[in-house]
Structure 1
Amino acid sequence: MGGNATEIALLERRHHSCPQEMASLPIPDELLAEIFVRLPTQADLAHASAACVTFRRVVADRSFPRLYRKIHAAPLLGFLDLNRVFHPADPPHPSTSATKAFADFSLSFLPAPASDWTMLDVCDGRVLLYRRGDFTELVVCDPLHRRHLLLPPIPEFIDDWVPSADNSQIFLVGGNEEDSDETFFSVIYVAFDQHKQTAFVFSSTTGKWQATPSTVRSPCSYWLQSAYGCLYGLTESSQKLQVFDTRRMEFSLVDLPPKAKTGSSYVHVAIVGAGEGIIGMFVLPHKTSDLSYFVKSNNGGSSSHWQLQKTVSLDSSHYSLDVGSTGRQLFLYHRGSPSLDARLFSMDVKTFQLEKVFGSKFGILYPRAYNNFPPFLSTPIVSSGAQEQGVGTPQVEEEPIDSPQ
């Protein structure tokens, strides 16, 4: 940070030149904002904002956080487990302690009794939960700004179907790269029985659920992650990748890379958004240390083939991909060390650099990564507008959404 601090000091002297020196035009606030938004770390930005009143005014302007978030990805702050316990990321993540001090990870602001809510998913700084004993009562919340939105009840279209954790899977999905509304999110509820499956999608924009017609269910598929408006899962035999496109409201099957087709053997698979609509897939066969990375275009079909980009040899065969991914970052869970029972690592999709982000002598139950900006760079990401208008009555559109042109 030494070089960045020197540049900030030079900017400050340039902005406040002595009267006896040759007069020069002050640096416009717009140009200062463009400079500050490109500082590599939030610590550098905090240092710059503390340098003088002018710099602080630029950083404190309402337009600056949005500009900053367009260029920088939200940093990892820690992990939420199934019991809603927050585990801060290990140093050198500088914003972890500050965010933990401001955020309410106990979720005490949820409808009482707050202890009844069980975590389902975490995405883009939001947390999706359901009320214990009622799998259809859902809430999405923003722990940093203590906001929540109760979702309307999920409509029931399947005869003799009782929603439960045994015949449903629910996911929280953020916006795409092109979305300008940072408060947008959707919830995907996939319900199934022995023969068929149906998906319901809630949009925070409309405050409504939209349903697909029931389709023949692929044998015992389980869902992984979402990327670019699509949800991805594996069939029971790990021979196909099942895709649910929220824009077309359609299910489809896509071929897997040969290395992911393991037959009866278990394989760890994780999906990431690699940028510009490119889907990335990490494949780690069980009890092996070779992690392979494939990419394919997200064109909604199976015409384009998976292309192997890189194979990374890990230092042991005790890694799993159960933690999933956020954006262009993959998380790996390491088990089996005699001195450290739980270690979580992150891997950048571009550099493939492995970095330890959490370690504990105790295991973590169903950890999910929590990424967000510290308070001075963040805004509420759960709007209560729909809630205030009384979104509590089921509203369903049965017609599929047309795909964007």
Structure 2
Amino acid sequence: MASPSPPPTPPTADEPPPPPTPDGDAPSPPTDAESPPPLPEADAPAAPPPDADADAPPLQQPHLPDGILEDIFLRLTTAADVARASAACASFRAITSALPFRRRFRALHRAPVLGFLREDFYAARPPHPSAPAARALARAADFAFSFLPDDAACWSPRDARDGRVLFSAVPSSHGRGSFADATSTTFVDLVVADPLSRRCVRVPPVPDDLAAPVLRWGMLDFEPFLAPASAEDLRDEGAPFRVIGKVLCEDRVAVFAFSSRTGEWRSHGSSELSNDFALDALYERRHYVQGCFCWLLEWMEKLLMLDAGAMEFSIVDLPPGNDERRFAILEAGQGRIGLLNIGRNTLDLYYKAWPGKRNGEWQHETKEHPLPDYHWRIIGSDEEYLLLRGISLDWPWFGSASSESPDIEYFALELKALQLERMYVSKHKMLHAHLYRGYPPQISAPTL
């Protein structure tokens, strides 16, 4: 029996290719699956056996103490960055969700604008940079304020600051939101609410012994608002707050302040005004800058200022020629107070030394602005932003008999860089609203 022939050996580099098969075809080259792996280079190290390090322990990742991680997270630029970091792992989330961290972050980083508040909450929409955080807040919070006391006819927002909203009790005929444009000739009931934690605190009424002198002077208006929280307040476990009440009378203006630390109202005296002055101050919008609340009395060409620390009023003359101008008050740098007017194609800036430092005349600068060609109106403000209502002058509604309602656009204007951020578009034309600033729910701490 013939022995089996040995398997053919592959040709070397010097050998000719194998002859054709009996069918006359050359053999097919091997497929990729059949191809042997390439030989290693002569000087390449041989690969270790696959199980050479099978028993070696895995490399340990370096571990940073929680205190160092907390300091790193505190140095992130925005609240959105912290929210993204907290989603990375459970240990990061535990650090950023702890109440001490959230309070420290709030004290170090200013709260972004998330929307504005009137009868409802209008969350910032794209392309506003805070739109994702605003959407998350709107889902997590109760902006219907269903947790407010139900013993009043209606609660209407009077101010919003530091994640809190101040409400006053009004007749149901006013409706929520409309009271911001009205007046109150009595000391109304007040509630401070936190829509995210769904908590509220009723502010006690002004005691009779404090209220009696004001009532004798002929009370024209009671305007309550929230004082800004200090860095110490934001770090405090009790999250204290202050409510200020400006009382306008026929010939003077008085101020009261309530502190949640003491649970009591205090009277801080009054300043005399002329009758015309008082009537002009009745309907003016409040601004806040450099620790002072300000009311522009444009008919009288005066600026009424309340120092929120000393609780003292002062009066400053406005620059002459205020017809057809609606000013916003801002910090102009270098110890100066500024008045900003948004014209058709220009920004008019008036500035002078801060009252009480030294005398000086108003200086005036006019420059072209990058804002769209809109009809602008300031409907809200705080120390860093204006809330603007704009209607395009290209809309057919202007200068025509068109019955179609124009698009009403709402913007936040950052005062330092004069950066315009569109927040909302609707058909609803608001005369007044409150800027709402806060943090994403992941890092928000209860304010009450």
Give the TM interval when normalised to the shorter protein: 0.7 to 0.9
Q: How many Å apart are 1:114 and its aligned residue? A: 6.2
Whether the 8 Å contact between 1:272 and 1:280 is mirrored in structure 2 is: yes
Counterpart for residue 103 of structure 1: 141
Structure 2 residue corresponding to 1:88, chosen from 98, 109, 123: 123
| Shift of residue 19, structure 1, vs aligned partner | 5.0
Paired residue type of 1:173:
A
Count matched residues: 353
The partner residue of 2:321 within 249, 257, 262 is: 262
Distance 2:249 2:272 in 1: 10
Aligned partners of 1:269 and 1:281 also within 8 Å: no
2:447 to 372, 381, 386: 381
* TM-score normalised according to structure 2 size: 0.69
- Paired with 2:264 and 2:247, the residues of 1 have a C-alpha distance of 17
Cα separation, partners in 2 of 1:224 and 1:136, compared to 1, 3 Å: same
> Partners in 1 of 2:249 and 2:80 — Cα distance?
51
Residue 39 in 1 paired to residue 98 in 2? Answer: no
Deviations 1:268-312 (A, max 9, x none): 22234679x966534216x64422345666565564666668845
- List aligned pairs for 1:184-203, cutoff 5 A: 184-203=240-259
Q: 1:213 to 1:24 in 2, by over 3 A?
A: closer
2:195 is equivalent to residue 143 of structure 1: yes
> What is the CA–CA distance in structure 1 between the aligned matches of 2:335 and 2:142, rounded to whole Å?
35
Q: 1:304 to 1:357 in 2, by over 3 A?
A: farther
Correspondence for 1:346:
412
Larger radius of gyration: 2
Determine whether 1:319 maps to 2:371. no
Code of the residue aligned with 1:144 in structure 2: it is L
Deviations 1:221-255 (A, max 9, x none): 33522234421112243522111123323211124
Evaluate the alpha carbon distance shift between residue 24 and residue 131 of structure 1 in structure 2; reply closer, same or farther with a 3 A threshold: closer
Letter in 1 for 2:327: V
- CA 1:48 to 1:269, structure 2 compared with 1: closer, same or farther past 3 Å? same
Question: Which of 179, 204, 226 does residue 172 from structure 1 map onto?
Answer: 226
Q: TM-score, normalised by structure 1?
A: 0.76
Q: Quote the offset at 1:87 in angstroms.
A: 1.2
Q: Secondary structure at the match of 1:215?
A: strand
Query: Which residue type is aligned with residue 233 of structure 1?
Result: W
Secondary structure at the aligned position of 2:144 is classed as coil
Q: Which residue number in structure 1 is paired with residue 158 of structure 2?
A: 120
> Does the 8 A contact of 1:192 with 1:217 survive in 2?
no
Considering Cα pairs closer than 8 Å and 6+ residues apart, tell me whether 1 or 2 has the greater RCO: 1
Task: Check 1:206–1:296 CA distance in 2 against 1; reply closer, same or farther (3 A cut).
Answer: farther
CA distance in 2, matches of 1:278, 1:57: 42
* Gap change, CA 1:60 and 1:158, over 3 Å in 2: closer
Answer yes or no: is the 8 Å Cα contact 1:274–1:328 preserved in 2.
no
Residue identity in the other structure for 2:297: T
Provide the secondary structure at the position in 1 that maps to 2:214: coil
Pick closer, same or farther for the CA change 1:130–1:39 going to 2, 3 Å. Answer: same
Partner of 2:265: 209
Unaligned runs of 5+ in 1: 1-17, 383-405
Aligned-pair identity in percent equals 34
User: SS in structure 1 opposite 2:266?
Assistant: strand
Q: CA deviation at 1:319?
A: 0.7
Instruction: Kindly report the root-mean-square deviation, in angstroms, between the aligned alpha carbons of the 2 structures.
Output: 3.1
Counterpart for residue 311 of structure 2: 249
Question: Residues 212 and 249 of structure 1 are in contact (CA less than 8 Å); yes or no, is this contact kept in structure 2?
Answer: yes
What SS does the corresponding residue of 1:321 show, helix, strand or coil?
strand
How many Å separate the matches in 2 of 1:236 and 1:349?
21
